[in-house]
């Protein structure tokens, strides 16, 4: 009788214990809110993946992912800043959000992020490319930004426009491999287009712009073995190497040909108002294969994706980009559910599906080294095929840097961007 009583008590304890589980289940599901920046053409891929998760693994495990916002990184950052500063009208922090490490670090310092190390085993983390994981590790060694898809910066070239220009002027394609060459071509192109309408002065077209002038300077100095920051994380803008970078663009901006635009360079490319630009490899889907002129004539064009330009005598270095996914610190059940979703989303099969329709790079070793080279041949979108080919080559030849991590970095880089554009604007008319 004693044994039976003990067994009954144990059963009761077990039943009571199970009710307080830290894991969701179909009978006790959790709904995770998510914000991401995979909009436009990428939204369909992401929507499909999330829907698939919700109706398969999520259904079995009692996890529902509910996307409540899709917007650009900068817009998400604005909202995240509102949350961080507890601004009036600030939205509720989502359970999962795409964010750059520079943004995430501020949340981590405020204790608002879950340390994902708690939900992944060493074996699970070993499947990911260490550099991509390390980008999301902060000062305390914890993993706060989980890699989902990575990118770098490349040079987008409207080959159709460039060929037209090169045929008439003899402009060399080789010059596109250095920033000095690009700056020089910018002046030539502006002059050439201006001369097309001799009756109208200063109506030349822009040749080049950068989506991130900050990255141009940051990577440029890295290529020369220098840093844009001192040991106290202050910008160093009075060095010869930096001045060389700055003056290269300022001098050629005087001749026209360098565009200063507050939006993405792909906007200008869509209307044929730009020949080339440096930008994230993930932006490929924003470049169509047409140019729409002001009279609504749509011209078929060809884009080439070139490796990130090098400053003369510099090393082959580019920046590693791509936001990751952060999980807000909340109840253990939700954190666990979020980690389960991340595991599924970044597994090679799902990861390859996403990158083959977006142009991002996969984050697991298997997908990056084994699946992607094979997968390249089966990609149907020529734009994505081109970008993956170029980026894969870059990963063989280039070294990559990541942006430094400190809470003021975001502000410093934004201020730099704004100030540098102001400097350039003084040299040329604004569009």
Binding site for other proteins (CB under 8 A): 1, 29, 31, 35, 39-41, 43-44, 51, 54-55, 58-59, 64, 66-72, 75, 78-79, 82, 89-91, 262-264, 266-267, 270-271, 285-286, 292, 294-298, 431
Name the minimum Å distance from CB 277 to other proteins: 14
Name the minimum Å distance from CB 245 to other proteins: 27
Name the minimum Å distance from CB 50 to other proteins: 8
- For residue 229, list its beta bridge partners: 235
Name the minimum Å distance from CB 431 to other proteins: 6
Half-sphere exposure of 32 (CA within 13 A, CB side): 33
CA distances to 92, 100, 110, 170 from 79, rounded to whole Å, are: 10, 14, 16, 48
Of the two residues 84 and 90, which places its CB atom closer to other proteins in the complex? 90
Of the two residues 87 and 131, which places its CB atom closer to other proteins in the complex? 87
Of the two residues 266 and 278, which places its CB atom closer to other proteins in the complex? 266
CA distance 221 to 115: 33
Q: How far is CA 217 from the centre of its chain?
A: 18
CA distance 285 to 28: 39
Of the two residues 171 and 327, which places its CB atom closer to other proteins in the complex? 327
Of the two residues 203 and 267, which places its CB atom closer to other proteins in the complex? 267
- For residue 121, list its beta bridge partners: none
| DSSP code for 325 | E
Going by C-alpha positions, the residue among 220, 231, 407 that lies closest to residue 309 is: 220
Of the two residues 2 and 396, which places its CB atom closer to other proteins in the complex? 2
CA distance 303 to 8: 72
Name the minimum Å distance from CB 72 to other proteins: 7
Name the minimum Å distance from CB 286 to other proteins: 4
CA distance 244 to 242: 5
Of the two residues 66 and 126, which places its CB atom closer to other proteins in the complex? 66
- For residue 299, list its beta bridge partners: 291
- For residue 291, list its beta bridge partners: 299
Of the two residues 56 and 233, which places its CB atom closer to other proteins in the complex? 56
CA distance 254 to 47: 45
Name the minimum Å distance from CB 66 to other proteins: 5
Residue 96 three-state SS: strand
CA distance 375 to 378: 5
Of the two residues 29 and 142, which places its CB atom closer to other proteins in the complex? 29
Name the minimum Å distance from CB 317 to other proteins: 29
Query: What is the chain's length?
Result: 431
Give start and end residues of each alpha helix (H) in 93-229: 101-109, 122-125, 130-134, 159-169, 179-194, 213-223
| DSSP code for 368 | I
| DSSP code for 64 | E
Helix axes 101-109, 409-425, angle to 10 degrees: 140
Name the minimum Å distance from CB 292 to other proteins: 5
Residue pair 279/265 in contact by the 8 Å Cβ criterion: yes
Residue pair 156/269 in contact by the 8 Å Cβ criterion: yes
Of the two residues 82 and 237, which places its CB atom closer to other proteins in the complex? 82
Of the two residues 43 and 330, which places its CB atom closer to other proteins in the complex? 43
Pairing outcome for strands 96-99 and 30-36: parallel
Name the minimum Å distance from CB 325 to other proteins: 17
Name the minimum Å distance from CB 273 to other proteins: 8
């Amino acid at each position: 009788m004693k044994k039976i009583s003990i067994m009954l008590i144990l059963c009761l304890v077990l039943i009571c214990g199970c009710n307080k589980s830290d894991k969701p289940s179909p009978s006790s599901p959790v709904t995770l809110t998510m914000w991401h920046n995979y909009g436009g053409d990428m939204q369909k891929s992401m929507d499909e993946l999330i829907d698939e998760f919700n109706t398969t693994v999520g259904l079995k495990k009692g996890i529902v992912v509910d996307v409540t916002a899709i917007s650009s990184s900068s817009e998400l950052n604005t909202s995240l800043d509102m949350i961080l500063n507890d601004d009036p009208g600030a939205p509720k922090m989502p359970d999962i959000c795409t964010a750059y490490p520079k943004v995430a670090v501020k949340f981590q310092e405020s204790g608002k992020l879950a340390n994902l190390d708690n939900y992944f085993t060493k074996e699970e983390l070993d499947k990911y490319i260490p550099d991509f994981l390390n980008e999301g590790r902060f000062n305390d060694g914890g993993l706060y930004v989980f890699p989902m898809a990575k990118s770098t910066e490349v040079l987008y070239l409207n080959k159709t426009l460039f060929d037209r220009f090169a045929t008439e002027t003899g402009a060399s394609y080789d010059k596109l491999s250095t920033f000095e060459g690009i700056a020089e071509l910018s002046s030539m192109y502006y002059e050439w287009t201006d001369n097309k309408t001799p009756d109208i002065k200063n109506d030349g077209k822009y040749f080049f712009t950068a989506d991130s002038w900050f990255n141009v300077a940051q990577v440029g100095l890295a290529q020369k073995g220098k840093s844009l920051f001192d040991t106290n994380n202050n910008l160093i803008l009075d060095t010869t190497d930096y001045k060389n970078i700055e003056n290269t663009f300022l001098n050629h901006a005087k001749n026209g040909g360098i565009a200063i635009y507050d939006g993405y360079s792909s906007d200008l490319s869509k209307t044929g108002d730009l020949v080339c630009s440096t930008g994230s490899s993930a932006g490929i889907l924003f470049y169509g294969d047409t140019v729409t002129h002001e009279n609504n004539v749509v011209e078929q064009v060809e884009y080439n994706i070139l490796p990130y330009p090098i400053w003369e005598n510099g090393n082959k270095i580019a920046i590693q980009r791509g936001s990751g996914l952060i999980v807000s610190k909340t109840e253990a059940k939700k954190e666990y559910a979020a980690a389960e979703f991340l595991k599924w989303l970044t597994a090679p099969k799902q990861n390859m599906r996403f990158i083959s329709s977006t142009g991002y790079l996969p984050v697991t070793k298997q997908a990056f080294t084994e699946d992607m080279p094979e997968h390249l041949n089966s990609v149907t979108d020529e734009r994505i095929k081109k970008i993956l080919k170029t980026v894969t080559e870059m990963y063989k030849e280039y070294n990559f840097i990541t942006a430094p991590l400190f809470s003021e970095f975001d502000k410093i880089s934004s201020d730099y961007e704004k100030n540098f554009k102001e400097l350039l604007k003084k040299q040329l008319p604004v569009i």
